[in-house]
A and B are shown apart, each in its own frame.
Chain A
């Protein structure tokens, strides 16, 4: 009995030296780097594996160990957790550099390395660029169900905010839920898109550097412009235009709800266009999807968006050279980007890149993006103009409160200022 136990323990101990699912450390001259990714209904494990392989095929001396964050919405938190436990990966995809760069953990890209990018100065942190800015994502645009709009007698998307209110009223009169939102489980971010749109349209349009000023203590969330925008959100909820059931839906369920026709309008990031077009191919949804920019009071077309989304590199990586090479290649590989466009509706901001032929919703998204004035997307910024670490989560929590009807514009703004101070701001 004892011998059996000893033998079993020894065997298991040996097995424990290399846990299943982790690759063996460097052998035969390959430089191993770890690459943190995240999975969504669009970005499947197969997508990542194929994309990684395209790069390692061209650089056989690099071995990539793929790490997967536990969820897309928490990937930034997860990266920080890894930093806290001393396991920061070598390359990380679409992780916000703020919170990581400050203590010198990230590699700053040189001008030479950024020469292919259309907007090389996106999201600077302390003047330096840490995240390769290759993907422009309007966040959010308003996708809408053309069939439900027609049922309510609306034949064109609203151009001003007043028109939006009118459209919502008409939808509600027909018993159609105007806005589909999310925010359940761990996907609290899905509750925020209306607020993000309002801040973009009403605050950033006139003060594009609002958060920079906030960091300097020159403005506060409690200022009239921000409060007014937030109050609009609370008013929409108050009028019953926002479906509270969304607070029980996590992100994939929210998307499903819109595609199942549970609401007419779906404020969402442009990545939704991929699902929309894919659905059309598969025979569902049984309605056409249109898109418009969240309207401002005066009709000026403003599109909150974020250009970034690329990899960031651990400055203290053991194979820094390999990490940088991999990151750049992964990011600029045309085939990779084609797949990304098709699976995630990316708008690639790399010079000379031509997207493959895409479906109607993607094309409509692209049109709106080009026609509007680009401003920052509240909570999505990652540079010197971003929220302090941890405050983004509070924004989503407050959005949940607003949707639940528990707070209004002034109170939410005040709470946000309090959280800002707690996070170390002025």
Chain B
């Protein structure tokens, strides 16, 4: 019966993977062939769809890529720094303020963005940040800082205080202690935060749609949605754009696979 498990696994995975197979197979076919025989393999394959998406006159993909990359990178770097530091404070300071802050932050973990989007647009308007990348980044930071603090404070708790005390006796200020002694030990936490927030922010649809708006440019995810209206006569173009928009994150995933899993499950086991 030893062959049963691999067989069942392959069948189940195959059925599960069908939609993804469709995208991969059809992106290399011409539009009319896609509707005619969607399940057939692409023989002969064509790169037309991909080149079309890359060379659109309105540069939808490239602009989207640049915006997605800048928003995502900025957000996760700032988030890592800010939440690591805040997590450090919450862990190391036994004051009541610290405890309350932690509770208020954890409560924020569950808030759906829809609850706060309308007032957030007003806050951004007041500060003149509506429709700018900095506005979107600031919103991301505020919204995801509970997650970052949650991950970091868990890890910081495991680092003995003596290390920091030793550093401070040697004359290091709070910055030095933190960045040179504590932070390097937080690599798994940093990896988790960077990866998860990176994926979530890259794939974010609603927030860039509303906050960046048409004036601030589109991200790659919103760009796919926009192309829906124009493209559906030719599925080929549509699939080309979708594959291109998913490519960066897929590359990111396959390169860092091990860390994804570790990041997910580090928290799970610790509970």
Contact = CB atoms under 8 A, between A and B. Distances in A.
B232 A39 contact: no
Interface stretch (A10-18, A153-161, A365-373): A10-18
Given A2-B179, A19-B66, A85-B121, 16 more contacts: A9-B74, A9-B78, A19-B216, A19-B217, A20-B67, A20-B70, A36-B214, A49-B57, A68-B58, A70-B209, A71-B226, A85-B210, A85-B213, A87-B213, A87-B214, A255-B233
Given A20-B217, A45-B57, A40 B132 contact: no
Nearest to A284: B32
B226 A67 contact: no
Nearest to A20: B66
Interface in A19-52: 19-22, 34, 36, 38-41, 44-46, 49
A282 to B, nearest CB: 12
Interface of A: 2, 5, 8-9, 12-13, 15-17, 19-22, 34, 36, 38-41, 44-46, 49, 65, 67-73, 78, 81-82, 84-87, 89, 185-186, 250-253, 255-256
Contact of A22 (B118, B211, B217, B225): B217
Contact of B214 (A49, A68, A251, A252): A68
Contacts of B57: 45-46, 49
Contacts of A22: 215-217
B121 A15 contact: no
B121 A84 contact: yes
Contacts of A78: 214
A248 to B, nearest CB: 13
30 contacts: A9-B77, A12-B73, A15-B70, A16-B74, A16-B132, A16-B134, A17-B133, A19-B66, A20-B63, A20-B217, A21-B59, A21-B63, A21-B217, A21-B218, A34-B215, A39-B230, A41-B232, A45-B56, A67-B213, A67-B215, A71-B228, A71-B229, A82-B213, A82-B214, A84-B118, A86-B121, A86-B125, A87-B213, A89-B215, A252-B233
Max chain B C-beta neighbours (<10 A), residue from A16, A45, A49, A252: A16
A41 B230 CA distance: 5
Contacts of A82: 213-214
Contact of A5 (B59, B77, B124, B226): B77
Given A39-B226, A70-B225, A21 B67 contact: yes
A65 B216 CA distance: 11
Max chain B C-beta neighbours (<10 A), residue from A2, A15, A22: A22
Interface size class of B (residues with CB under 8 A): 35 or more
B212 interface: yes
B131 interface: yes
Interface in B99-128: 118, 121-122, 124-125
B232 A19 contact: no
B137 interface: yes
Contacts of A67: 213-215
B91 interface: no
